[in-house]
Every structure is written in C-alpha cells, then in structure tokens.
Amino acid sequence: MNLYQSLLRPLLFQCDAEWTHETTLRACHWLAKSGWLRERVRSHHAFDDPRLACSVAGLAFPNPVGIPAGFDKDAHAGLMLEALGYGFVEAGSVSRDPSPGNPARPRVFRVPADEGLMVFYGVPSEGAVAVAQRAASTRPRVPFGISLVEANIGRMSPIEDVLKQFTDTARIFTGRADYLQLNINCPNTTGGESPLDDPAHLALLLAGLREVENLPPVFLKITPFRTPAAIEAILAVVDPYAFIKGFVLNTEAPKPYAGLNTPLEVLRKMPGTLCGPIRRKPVDDAVSAWYRRIDRARHAIIAAGGTSSAADAYRRIRLGASLVGVLTALVYRGPGVVRDIKEGLCRLIERDGFATICEAVGVDTPRAR
C-alpha cells in the first residue's frame, strides 16, 4: 500500500465524491501553471521506455496508457495528467451547448469494497466554446482527444438536432484537438438510448462530418456490447469514411451485478453506471469481438473500463486494443498507478519476447471466419 492509499485516500473518501472530483481537477489546473511544479511531478512519476511507443491514427503515442473521457470533463487538467505519465489525454464529453447534467444529487458514489464508482453525472458540460478556449492553454503535449456528445435534455432529441450538435461541436474543436471521439450512446443520458443507435442515423452523422474542413481523426465510442451482426452493420456504415480511425469500447457490466463484495441492496440505492473492475470481462469480450471483425490496417481499438493493473492492460492489448484507458484505478490506487502499469507492461513484453508493445496487439484474437 502506497502513501496515497494509506494516508491521502482515507481523507478524500471522507468528502463528497463529486466535490472531491471537482476540487482535484481545479487543483490540477492551478498547480500546472507552475512549470517548475509540473517538472517535479513529471520527474517523480517518470517512466519512459521506447518499447511502449506506438502509432495510432497517424498520431505518435509515447505509451498506450491514457486517461479516458469522463475524468476531465471541461479540459482543466491536461497538463498535469501528462505530467503523471499518461500517454494520451481525453477531455469531455463535451456538448455544443452548456448542460448541467443530471439534476439529482449525489451523482457519484464510491463502491470501495469493489474499487468501483457508480456514476450518474449525465454528462455535464460547460459547452464547446468554453472548453475549447480553456484547452488552448491546458492542452498537453501527448495526443489530446475531445469526446463529443449531444446535450442531455432528459429525453431523446430529434435526429436532425443531434446531427447538427455533433457537426457544430466538431467544427469548434478542429485544430484544437489531435482527435475526436463521438460518444454516441452515453449510458447516463436518456437511459443510454440515442437516435444514433440506428445505423442509418449514424450514416447521416458521418456524412455530415465529412463536410467539416480539416477534421482530425475520429473514433466512435460504442458503449453497449454489440452482437456480431450489429458489429458488421456498424462497420458497413463506417467503411466509406476514412476519417474514422477506430472504436472506443467501454461496455457496461450486465445487471444484476454478480460476483461483487458490495451487497446488491446497497447498489440498488445508487443510480447510474458502475465503473471499475466489474467491467473487466465485458470489455475484454467486446475488444475480442470487435478485433475479430475490424479492418486492422484501418482501424484501432481503445479499451476503457476496468483497467487497474499492467496485467489488465496487457491482456486487452493481446486481445486487440492498441490503447487502454485508466480512470477508476486512479481514484483507488493513486497517481502512481500509471507508472506501475507502464513498468509492468515492459516486464510482460520482455517475458513474452516482444521488442515493442505494438507487436503484442491482437496476438490472442484470430480473425473472424
């Protein structure tokens, strides 16, 4: 157990989870203004190894371990997250118009017996213009992605409005982000339903995005698990659009949750989506299912949800993920978890005889027949 787990975490866990989250982000924002302090953080957490470098969507990643969207919703902390050793940083999800998210409080619940978080934020956002302006000064030097989402109005929006929201927001972030992520079915809004679940509507969105000048690489975030037929349907829609470079897989664990230390009657009192180790197997299964079917020369997979250790990250890479997101483990294991995972990945590829982490991508998943 490290100093964070033994001393700081018990103090933080006495406070409201959402307050702690917001305070941490604002502290990161202000502390990062000091270049000297950023360098001290960087030197303390530094672990750079050329064997972990990889190229995805034409972007150079110093390592495959990133912070996924959901932590830094409004782009406050990119510089400090880079200093902690993350190989890529995502902000968001960001809606075109400001959105308060779900009105009920609390909106975040800790599930410490299972190192989990129950999240019911409902994608609050300061709005694309405000986030883009802030990102101009907080943009990290590692690849920086922005997750785009439709505004949460508590019900499904008309498809015409959803399409315009996404294309308007994409234009705002053109030139301000290295890649975009389309969060097309967030589980915290309108029951996780979206008109973009319909492949025909998704095709309309991609056709509209093709008209956006200087569009950076784009990834689709697919939240619910998809059957082989559904995967093939989405791949068919994506096929004409070269700007789609891959898929972000953040599959939910099926309900009722099984195999947890936390009693189900406790979890039932918490609205939202359970994040953390409970997602390991669903995300692993999704990575394997998608990697069997994608065009591996065109598309890459980013796996997010339940990655807590080097073993988790390496297993997902061997299943087909080129990049992995680490978020909930940051809350429970502290900022040193990023270095721990990177060091562990180097030991694992050395054990298996790989010269680089890229050589391990997908070795455990054959192509679909």
pLDDT, residue 192, reads 56
Please count the helices (runs of H) and the strands (runs of E) in the chain: 14, 13
**Cα→Cα distances 171→2, 28, 128, 153, Å:** 44, 28, 10, 22
Domain segments of the chain as ranges: 3-360
Give 349's strand partners: none
pTM: 0.93
pLDDT, residue 188, reads 52
Instruction: Report the SS3 class of residue 224.
Output: coil
pLDDT, residue 262, reads 95
Q: What is the average pLDDT score of the chain? A: 92
Torsion of CA 93, 97, 100, 103, to 10 degrees: -100
Strands 323-325 and 300-304 come out as: parallel
pLDDT, residue 152, reads 81
Q: Tell me, what amino acid is at 72? A: D
pLDDT, residue 228, reads 86
Categorise residue 91: left if φ over 0, alpha if ψ from -120 to 50, beta otherwise. beta
Q: Quick one: which of 191, 166, 161, 203 has its CA closest to 181?
A: 166
Which tokens in the block code for residue 5?
A: 């787990």
Low-confidence spans in the chain with pLDDT less than 50: none
Which tokens in the block code for residue 348?
A: 């694992």
Using the 8-state DSSP alphabet, how is residue 311 labeled?
H
Q: What is the CATH number of domain 3-360?
A: 3.20.20.70
pLDDT, residue 225, reads 61
* Alpha-carbon torsion (230, 236, 238, 242), positive or negative: positive
pLDDT, residue 121, reads 93
Q: Tell me, what amino acid is at 328? A: T
Which tokens in the block code for residue 354?
A: 């790989």
Radius of gyration from C-alpha coordinates of the chain: 19
